A and B are shown apart, each in its own frame.
Chain A
């Protein structure tokens, strides 16, 4: 049930949830969302729902504490500011102000301690689970933890910086942490105070709901009709063994995997954003046509936007960002990309993946800046050639196998197919099957396509088409769930 592109979610959980959500009075909706989300999460991993609740309670409680400290600090600040002239005056007033200043420092100290403890606790739990998953059993990393922990850290940090101005109710905070559209795979939406407070008072918004359905259908189709199907090519390559694929097939595989990853996650994010809109939340953009970017740095501002922004706001900027010496800037970039790599997975290939991206971005920023501004084609080349190669690193955890794949991509680097028996016609065999999916993928990387889709959506024929596409996707979902041979026919 925890997968949006599943029959149980679409035809069981979602309709029932929406009915309850909109039938109860508006002020109870966040509560319904919390309960529904916990049911949703428990249906996937009942053993870890307790951990989610415990972390939710701790983060909410300390978030309140930090917010309260923040508030009394600002109260004291204004007291100090008003009487700034008199601080060092002798007499009872001056002593009071000095006491206020000490209190303020103490409160600030408390807030810092709370912040540090909470960040360390959150990051520690996540790291511990990731290490356990890597060394003991992959089941020990609770579903969605990488995402909800990041939400919790951002919540705590926003309480500290004052972006969240006052202590929040438990229901709102908990619903924010656990909300089912985001709990398994993001997007890492920020806590928008005004929104959560007024939400209980707003009525059902038909247009937003409708737009949510639209996003959900597009996302569902991208995932089920495109990503899941083009993804079979990578399985095929795995089946053949990297030592036996021809160089053209190796490249086709790299692009196939890149498309699978993009449309799987983009599709998922659209579904999540659509669900959010159905519940009355604003649209959360997680992908902004990354493959149309003119550079890797830009690519990663447009790819998994909420994660990139999280790293920017909570790691890169606190480290000093780019407002510091060149040397420090390079260090900051490498730190951020190393952590990004580790966040995606604990094996060495993810570290390499992160560092390679960091280096490419440093290269673009400090060496290629001039040429890239002059010739846009360089940046596009980076995105269209280097990015798929980095996804290959992302895809293959075994370094020996990874090296092997690269010798197939670049056959002049030593052993070119001597280990395996290569079928030189393999790429044609697979292109014969997969070319429509590759063509569709390429078209769907172009921003204009989405403008056309939105235009079409406004017309009746577009809506009919969308409904039809939805049922085609349901057809594929149905036969793949009841027939194991759809994707695995041998």
Chain B
């Protein structure tokens, strides 16, 4: 025994490693019931102390394990922070009250979500968590601002200004006046052909992980009544020139970022950042490339509240493939569209179908495969209404007949090569909607609200 301790004396590094490992393990075990979710860990491959590091990545620090916090109280704390921020920025007392209402609702909801997650083996705190887009009014609201409470799973407060309301009304008047002179305008009882893109299918190579797909017999909440405009008249695609994009905003992930960099689309505004997703798009700062070439960091929300766009292109969904399930993705996508609709009430919204991946990927990757992409595209395409929200699917421009992204157009199987963005650009030019109120109004610069 004495010899043992003599040897140990010469091993300070080894001892410190072992000691720190024990400390981390203890923290993990202590926090496993409260701040960490240990239901997903494969005990054979992953040590319990990994919970601590995953926690740090999710913003839950080791000392939280000892402060008696639980998942629920933590969300409460962060919600309180949000409401504090709202208090600082909002000048009206009523707004503060509203913001607090939201914060409370959010807490109640996340508690409800937590209850569900203990039942469901699918959910995990180690995944990118679908978090509620807590939306607060960051600008000093003008007098007479009306706040709108959104329906649906995620509640959020959106400040709709008078200008936004007026713009929507003006647009409707314009449409009434100019309806007859627009050749792309058709009147029909139900949505005719050529109003939205068809969802491009793809060969199923049988590798898609079940946990990411919609469960058997899952129902999508397609109840869009009241959310979108009335039926009865529709617009068809036509070809336009680049001036069409000058009052448009393209929101998306790294693929849209590539379009901004390599798509030869100067004079267009972009809000694009890698890994932007429907789960995170309201929380993160994104480089905002304004049409005049200036770049600044903003949140999507700030940009949409401050600037008036006539077209909004949304291209997200590839990062979300790793978050179960398609139904959850759809719900969040739907909420995102609703928020955009509120903030840009007279804009044409384009839902861009998720671009497929290469055959190499699609036939070997449980997450990033076309089976999953087609399922999700089919889901989000139902959000289009042919009036002010349209589904466009650029996949036929870049895929082979199996629905696989052509291998010579991609280096990594996920993104277009720089030289291939021209195909996407070309597709956008050929699949544009010119609404009646847009007939005389193509090529203007985005203005402030």
Contact = CB atoms under 8 A, between A and B. Distances in A.
B411 interface: yes
Contacts of A423: 261-262, 418
A213 interface: yes
Interface in A82-132: none
A419 B419 CA distance: 8
Interface stretch (A144-152, A155-163, A434-442, A459-467): A459-467
Interface residues on B, range: 35 or more
B397 to A, nearest CB: 17
B411 A240 contact: yes
Main secondary structure of the interface of B (DSSP, over half): helix
Given A241-B411, A244-B417, A483 B128 contact: yes
A12 B44 contact: yes
A466 B367 CA distance: 36
Interface string A449-490: 000000000001001101100110011001101111100111
Interface stretch (B9-17, B104-112, B233-241, B431-439): B9-17
Interface stretch (B45-53, B66-74, B149-157, B333-341): B45-53
B98 interface: no
A137 interface: no
B53 A475 contact: yes
A235 B50 contact: no
B53 A420 contact: no
A373 interface: no
B10 A210 contact: yes
A138 interface: no
A490 to B, nearest CB: 5
A207 interface: yes
Contacts of A367: none
Contact of B17 (A7, A238, A244, A470): A470
- Number of chain A interface residues as a range: 35 or more
B7 A206 contact: yes
Contact of A207 (B10, B47, B253, B255): B10
Contacts of A209: 11, 14
Given A213-B13, A490-B319, A238 B47 contact: no
A422 B44 CA distance: 48
Contact of A485 (B12, B262, B275, B417): B275
A260 interface: no
Interface string B185-213: 00000000000000000000000000000
B306 to A, nearest CB: 26
Nearest to A210: B11
Interface in A390-422: 419-422
Contacts of B50: 7, 478, 481-482
A244 B262 contact: yes
B16 A464 contact: yes
A8 B41 CA distance: 12
Given A479-B53, A490-B274, 18 more contacts: A1-B45, A7-B50, A11-B47, A204-B7, A210-B10, A213-B14, A239-B415, A243-B419, A466-B13, A467-B13, A467-B17, A471-B20, A475-B56, A483-B126, A483-B127, A483-B128, A484-B322, A490-B255
Interface of A: 1, 7-8, 11-12, 204, 206-207, 209-210, 213-214, 217, 235, 238-241, 243-245, 419-423, 426, 460, 463-464, 466-467, 470-471, 474-475, 478-479, 481-485, 488-490
13 contacts: A8-B45, A11-B49, A12-B44, A12-B47, A239-B415, A240-B418, A241-B417, A421-B264, A474-B53, A481-B50, A482-B54, A482-B126, A490-B318
